[in-house]
């Protein structure tokens, strides 16, 4: 199989880290408001997938208020391409079960090797790629950026992706500041560099802290300081989402809906409906919600084209498929049911 790689100019690592922060913050806004608030966001951000009401891997459409659903969250970097043909460097698959309030969260490494078939795109784009390139290939080929990314993830994980939400990081600091900042109870002190000034250190002391946009971004992205071992990024991100929801529900925020809608409209696209957004709000804000992080194991390998890819471990992928299909109440294959995950959890 011939390999062809879509190359996009590399950027500084600190800018990569802002994608996940922007993505998480936008989720908190999308799910945080009341019906009027959510309806306004929906109007500004809605964009369908041109595939009907359901994934091709579903026999019938699902209802987020009643059925387990999956959502692909994409953080897109497109500043270096002037807003065109960006890359989805952050991809997180969520599964949500409204009956049990259980959620799984799976991050897909941006360099994961995938195959994009010629049946979907022009032959010159077909072949092996890093998964983050599916977004740009979908756009430049005319297939659809979100659509190709969603279908590539479906193929990798063997699950239907029911909904998606895409965000770029340009509006992150602006939205936090529009909210008037958010207050988070810092569990353990640490410091992180500012995304606006590399030489500026932002100190986080233990206890409640009112954060502006610049500070909130540093709080959720820190991962290399000693504190990250005991005060993980996952925990800080969950704190951040909850604090953002609380602030989004405040009366003062609802008065800023016009400004919020403008910023979100420029930086977000999703096919979630208002009712589904409200269901997500309930899932994220409930104290009874349990969150399981599902990881894909593998190794970075240099392949024949001279580039490094993340090559998933086959057994790990089967375990991930098993967990996600179970969380969506979907049938599992015999190969998955004999996985290490099931054997260690009986």
What domains does the chain contain, in order, with CATH numbers?
13-170+268-329 (3.30.420.590), 180-267 (3.40.630)
List, for residues 247-291, the tens digit of each pLDDT value. 776 767 666 767 777 777 777 788 887 767 766 666 655 566 777
Strand partners, 262: none
DSSP, collapsed to helix, strand or coil, labels residue 293 as strand
Mean of the per-residue pLDDT values of the chain? 79
Query: Rounded distance, CA 286 to CA 284, Å?
Result: 6
pLDDT at 282: 64
Placement of tokens 């659509």 in the chain: 147
List, for residues 222-243, the tens digit of each pLDDT value. 877 887 778 877 678 778 877 8
Distances from the Cα of 276 to the Cαs of 192, 305, 329, 345, in angstroms? 35, 43, 19, 32
Greater confidence (183 vs 65) lies with 183
pLDDT at 37: 53
Residue 329 has pLDDT above 50, yes or no: yes
Distances from the Cα of 198 to the Cαs of 202, 209, 264, in angstroms? 10, 22, 27
Averaged pLDDT, 173-200: 89
pLDDT at 338: 46
Range ranked top by mean pLDDT from 116-125, 194-203, 223-232, 318-327: 318-327
Query: Rounded distance, CA 239 to CA 190, Å?
Result: 16
Query: Rounded distance, CA 234 to CA 69, Å?
Result: 21
Range ranked top by mean pLDDT from 70-79, 247-256, 273-282, 315-324: 315-324
What are the backbone dihedrals phi and psi of residue 25, each rounded to the nearest 5 degrees, phi first?
-65, -40
User: Terminus-to-terminus CA distance in the chain, angstroms?
Assistant: 41
pLDDT at 346: 42
């Amino acid at each position: 199989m011939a390999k062809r790689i879509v190359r996009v100019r590399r950027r500084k690592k600190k800018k990569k880290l802002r994608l996940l922060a922007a993505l998480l913050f936008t989720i908190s806004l999308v799910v945080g408001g009341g019906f009027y608030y959510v309806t306004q966001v929906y109007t500004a951000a809605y964009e369908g997938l041109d595939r009907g009401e359901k994934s091709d891997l579903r026999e019938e459409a699902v209802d987020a208020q009643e059925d387990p659903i999956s959502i692909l969250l994409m953080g897109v970097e497109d500043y270096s391409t002037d807003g065109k043909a960006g890359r989805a460097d952050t991809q997180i698959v969520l599964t949500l079960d409204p009956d049990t309030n259980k959620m799984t969260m799976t991050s897909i490494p941006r360099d994961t090797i995938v195959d994009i078939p010629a049946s979907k795109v022009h032959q010159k784009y077909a072949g092996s790629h890093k998964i983050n390139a599916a977004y740009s290939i979908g756009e430049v080929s005319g297939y659809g950026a979100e659509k190709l990314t969603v279908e590539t993830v479906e193929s990798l994980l063997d699950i239907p992706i029911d909904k998606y939400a895409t965000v770029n990081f340009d509006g992150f600091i602006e939205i936090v500041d529009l909210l008037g900042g958010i207050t988070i109870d810092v569990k353990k002190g640490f410091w992180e560099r500012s995304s606006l000034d590399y030489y500026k250190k932002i100190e986080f002391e233990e206890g409640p802290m009112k954060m502006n946009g610049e500070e909130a971004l540093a709080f959720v992205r820190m991962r290399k300081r000693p504190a990250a071992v005991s005060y993980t990024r996952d925990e800080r991100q969950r704190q951040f989402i909850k604090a953002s929801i609380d602030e989004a529900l405040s009366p003062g925020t609802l008065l800023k809906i016009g400004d919020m809608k403008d910023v979100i409209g420029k930086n977000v696209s999703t096919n979630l409906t208002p009712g589904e957004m409200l269901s997500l709000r309930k899932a994220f804000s409930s104290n009874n919600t349990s969150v399981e992080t599902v990881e894909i194991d593998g190794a970075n390998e240099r392949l024949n084209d001279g580039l490094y890819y993340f090559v998933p471990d086959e057994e790990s992928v089967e375990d991930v498929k098993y967990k996600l299909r179970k969380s969506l109440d979907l049938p599992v294959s015999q190969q998955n049911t004999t996985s290490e995950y099931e054997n260690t959890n009986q």
